[in-house]
A and B are shown apart, each in its own frame.
Chain A
Amino acid sequence: MTKFFLLFLFTFPVIADHHVPDNIEAGTNAAATIRVHHKKNKVLYHFDYEQTDKINNRVDKRYTLGVRYRFMKNFKAGLYYSLRYGQRHDEDWISGPNPPHWIWIDTSKRSENFVGLELIPRFLVHFLPGTWVGETRVKIERNFFNDNNTVKLKPGLTYFWMGDSGPFMNLFAQAELYIPLNYGEETIYEKWFYLGALYHYSKIFKPGIFFSVYEKVWTQTEAFKTLKNDTYKNTEKGNLVGITLNFRIP
């Protein structure tokens, strides 16, 4: 009886505290993207709206405005501003006063401002049959909400299915790796893999679909480490099935 009591006494705080977040298997969720482009000479102006359906009670919404310039045949660079809602960071795992247990903050209505630089080298892949374009996009992004700086590497391969008057459809495969520069414990904080297709309905409208698989890693903050004298590494995994609607303003 005493032994049982002592066992209960030692385990109860851990059970009651539960200060380490659970791994999340988010399953498959829906996403949608609307893009509007306008090109003038070598400059592309773009507006994007992206929304991901509720994953673990979070709706991720992004409004991005940007510009890209084609410096050379194989190289573009751009700047963008992005307003986002529903982002989650390591520091959003907090100890709530009421109820008194650890929770993820609901950030659905919290706005965050991002600014980014993107570098886009592209090249034709001659050794593959047909028309293939390879790309290794690099983004350097700053989040002004928490001063997080991130490098995003996005290599991709696109096949252009050519019709009588230009591309008819393109099929693409991409990976995206998030490398935190001044936060987190992991070298790669987040990973995405995309497969998709875009149908060139007209010069103005191109609808598409995509499927993606992602994995995010959550680790403790310094504050958590000081408070709990503990560390953790948890993952959120999930899939997205999405549609994309691309519009071009002539």
Chain B
Amino acid sequence: MRTAVFIFFLFVLFNNFSSASEGKLIYAKGVVQVLDKKKNKKMFQRIKKGATFNAGDIIRTKKGALAILELAGGSKLKLNSASAVTIKKAKKNDEEVRLNRGSVFINVFKSKLNKKTKPRFRLKTKTVSMGVRGTSFFASFGEKAKKKKQRRDLWMCVNTGLVEVTSNKSKQKVSVKAGEGIKVEKGNKISEPKPLEWTKKLNWNMEESKGDLVNKASIESAYTDVLDEDYD
């Protein structure tokens, strides 16, 4: 009896350990770090390809670095230079990531769920939530904030599929289709979805074997305010 209980205990423990891993780092270039919340770590630790992470962990890349994360649910994230995400949930059919700063490409594991089903992947920032249905998209957050309390802009564009964007403040909802992008300026109104020229140059590749992974298209071009350009 005692043996059965002990084995049962080990089984539960093993399952807890194995199911606690929310994902894995499958590619790393440069310095990629994790802040392990489960172990109550207070400092970021450098991690390498193959390292696992858990719910609550914060993964960040230093300047010039690149990381590709695979979540337990099957979706992939390509974290660009100087970016950070918090893994909230990464289980099958229930994935949630928070983009703290920088930019990330997201390739959601294709679901067989129909359109009426609640989105299975959510990307959140301080100001908006994005619900995704089997798609790949790009989001960039927080490039221009200079003052501490200043709200930051969010840029998002969709490669395939459909993304529903909801403003946390106004609850405004916008659906963004493939080939379109939106801007949420300082956490306020979500712009009308439209093709953004610079997004054609984004590098969506997430597989090392298929070529270069580094995205060279600068978000700066999206920030150029042409109405402010004075040349005469």
Contact = CB atoms under 8 A, between A and B. Distances in A.
Given A131-B197, A162-B198, A167 B226 contact: yes
A208 B224 CA distance: 20
B230 A160 contact: no
A165 B218 CA distance: 5
Interface string B214-232: 0011101101101111111
Given A130-B197, A131-B197, A131-B226, A164 B221 contact: yes
B227 A124 contact: yes
Chain B interface: which size bin?
10 to 19
Contacts of A76: 230
Given A162-B198, A164-B216, A165-B218, A73 B227 contact: yes
Nearest to A194: B232
A172 to B, nearest CB: 8
Contacts of A68: 230
A70 interface: yes
B231 A164 contact: no
Contacts of B231: 35, 170, 172, 198, 206, 208, 246
Interface residues of A, number: 30
A100 B221 CA distance: 64
Given A130-B197, A164-B221, 18 more contacts: A35-B231, A74-B227, A124-B226, A133-B226, A133-B229, A160-B226, A164-B201, A164-B217, A165-B218, A165-B221, A166-B220, A166-B223, A167-B226, A167-B229, A170-B231, A172-B231, A206-B231, A246-B231
Interface of B: 197-198, 201, 216-218, 220-221, 223-224, 226-232
28 contacts: A35-B231, A35-B232, A37-B230, A44-B230, A68-B230, A73-B227, A76-B230, A122-B227, A124-B226, A131-B197, A133-B229, A160-B226, A162-B197, A162-B198, A162-B221, A163-B221, A164-B201, A164-B216, A164-B217, A164-B218, A164-B221, A166-B218, A166-B220, A166-B221, A167-B226, A167-B229, A170-B231, A206-B231
